A and B are shown apart, each in its own frame.
Chain A
Amino acid sequence: IAGITQAPTSQILAAGRRMTLRCTQDMRHNAMYWYRQDLGLGLRLIHYSNTAGTTGKGEVPDGYSVSRANTDDFPLTLASAVPSQTSVYFCASSDSDSNTGELFFGEGSRLTVL
């Protein structure tokens, strides 16, 4: 089934540990995004990539890094996790040629940092 796959679905992590959230899409979309979603707040953009080989910082990039080696994959890395990074993380993609710019989301990765 075409779409976006995230892994892991859920993870509990000790503070200070390194963690990579994986995201793969098979829709050949140019643009990909990482958001975090916290209770009472709107989705907040962490990093984005308009095309393979390029990345940009979003609203809340500190403590996170991304890479975009190819069109399909867009991993998000927490170099040294802190409790404030406890959140639900959503990867999304969009077709830059689309009239609407509709985002397609993965199922989310729930991360708890203790």
Chain B
Amino acid sequence: GQNIDQPTEMTATEGAIVQINCTYQTSGFNGLFWYQQHAGEAPTFLSYNVLDGLEEKGRFSSFLSRSKGYSYLLLKELQMKDSASYLCAVMDSNYQLIWGAGTKLIIKP
């Protein structure tokens, strides 16, 4: 079966760096996505990786290793507003998105 694994919850301190991991087992691969979802709100797109390596976008970076079925989202200079759930999703060979359950990130002052 297809599976996306990510930690349920993480805690970090304001101003620090946090890395949220995602491992996947899917039938085929056509890209990996990270979305941010604040409580009670809609998910919003953060990043897309289809090739191995690091994609940097401001304070957020996303890394992909297709051979290891692994990705991480790196958040630097954490701010209180980064408290949210972070959803990892993989597009399989049928171009369907398979979603992880999300990682709830709690930022403490």
**Does A53 sit at the interface, judged by CB under 8 A?**
no
Residue in B41, B48, B100 whose beta carbon sits within 8 Å of that of A102 in the complex? B48
Q: Are A43 and B87 in contact (CB under 8 A)?
A: yes
A108 / chain B contacts, CB cutoff of 8 Å: 41-42
Q: Are B99 and A42 in contact (CB under 8 A)?
A: yes
Q: Are B101 and A105 in contact (CB under 8 A)?
A: no
When chains A and B are docked, how far (Å) is the Cα of A101 from the Cα of B96? 11
Q: Are B48 and A101 in contact (CB under 8 A)?
A: yes
Query: Chain A residue with minimal CB distance to B3?
Result: A42
The B interface, classified by DSSP as helix, strand, loop or mixed, is strand
B42 / chain A contacts, CB cutoff of 8 Å: 90, 105-108
> Could you list which residues of chain B lie within 8 angstroms of chain A, going by C-beta atoms?
4, 31, 33, 35, 41-45, 48, 87, 89, 91, 95-102
> Could you list which residues of chain A lie within 8 angstroms of chain B, going by C-beta atoms?
40-45, 58, 90, 100-108
CB distance from A57 to the nearest CB of B (A): 11
CB distance from A102 to the nearest CB of B (A): 5
CB distance from B31 to the nearest CB of A (A): 7
Q: Are A105 and B100 in contact (CB under 8 A)?
A: no
When chains A and B are docked, how far (Å) is the Cα of A43 from the Cα of B91? 13
CB distance from A51 to the nearest CB of B (A): 14
B102 / chain A contacts, CB cutoff of 8 Å: 42
Q: Are A42 and B45 in contact (CB under 8 A)?
A: no
Residue in A40, A43, A102, A107 whose beta carbon sits within 8 Å of that of B99 in the complex? A43
CB distance from A90 to the nearest CB of B (A): 6
Q: Are B99 and A100 in contact (CB under 8 A)?
A: no
